[in-house]
Structure formats: structure tokens, C-alpha cells
Amino acid sequence: MTKLLEIYKCNVCGNIVEVIHTGVGQLVCCGQPMELLKEKTADVGQEKHVPVIEKTGAKILVKVGAVPHPMEEKHYIEWVEVVADGRSYRKFLKPGEKPEAEFEVTAQKIEAREFCNVHGLWKSS
Ligand SMILES: [Fe+2]
């Protein structure tokens, strides 16, 4: 059974999917169950992954993280996602870009997530 907005990864081929409609079935890829990625909310090392949300009028700026995360070929933030008021927003990032994303969101309750290609899934605490 899946839940809305859960993110699953295939540990064989690297496919990553987000659930946009729940079902009772188990997600399978490359012949084995996909791994449900758990969002981490606290950094312990030097690198900072927890998204930081800054409100600027009708927009929000989501930075990864309190200290900018590396954006190198082999280690970078692949995307930043915001869920607010029943809408989801996502910006895909590339190496060399800033580890941040701006969205037009005025909702008060905002949750941000990001995916690091080395350290996985993180969300704002
Ligand atoms: Fe990382």
C-alpha cells in the first residue's frame, strides 16, 4: 500500500518515483521491491541538507541548506519540492547551479523536500 507523495527508489537501476495516486500494490522495479525513501530532517555532518524556507512576499525561496550544499557533477541536489495547500511544486537542478529554488507560494503551512544524489531525501523540519 502506498501513500500520496511517498518516494521510492530502485536500488538496482536507480529509478526514482513519486506516488501521485495511492494503490494497494507494492512497487517493484528490476524484479525486486522498490525502497521507500525516508526523509531525513537533521544533519550530523559538515554538509547541510535540510531545506531552509525564506518567505519574500508572494514567493518563497528554498535553500539547501543553511550552508550551501555542493553542486558538483558527482554530488549535487537533483531537485527541490514544495508541498503547500494541496499543490506540489518541483524544480530540477543541475550541477553548477545554486542549490536553491524559488516558488510563488503564499500558503502558511509549507513543507519542502530535496533530493541529494549521494545523501538521499531530506525535508524541512
Ligand atoms: Fe549531499
Contacts of 96 (CB under 8 A, 6+ apart): 71
CA–centroid distance, 18 to ligand 1, in Å, is: 20
What percentage of the chain exceeds 70 in pLDDT? 100
Beta-sheet strands, E only, within 1-125? 7-9, 16-18, 28-29, 32-33, 35-36, 51-56, 59-64, 77-84, 87-92, 100-104, 111-116, 120-123
**According to the model, what pLDDT value does residue 4 have?**
96
Cα(121) to ligand 1 centroid in Å equals 9
Question: Ligand 1 center to residue 46 CA distance, Å?
Answer: 10
Q: How would residue 47 be classed by pLDDT, with cut points 50, 70 and 90?
A: confident
Q: Is the pLDDT of residue 43 over 90?
A: no
This prediction's pTM? 0.94
73 vs 44, higher pLDDT: 73
Report, as an integer, the average pLDDT of 34-52: 90
Q: Does the pLDDT of residue 45 top 80, yes or no?
A: no
**59-64 vs 28-29, strand pairing mode:** unpaired
Separation of CA 23 and ligand 1 centre (Å):
31
Calculate how far, in angstroms, residue 74's C-alpha sits from the geometric centre of ligand 1: 10
Cβ atoms of 123 and 41 closer than 8 Å: yes
CB 7 within 8 A of CB 16: yes
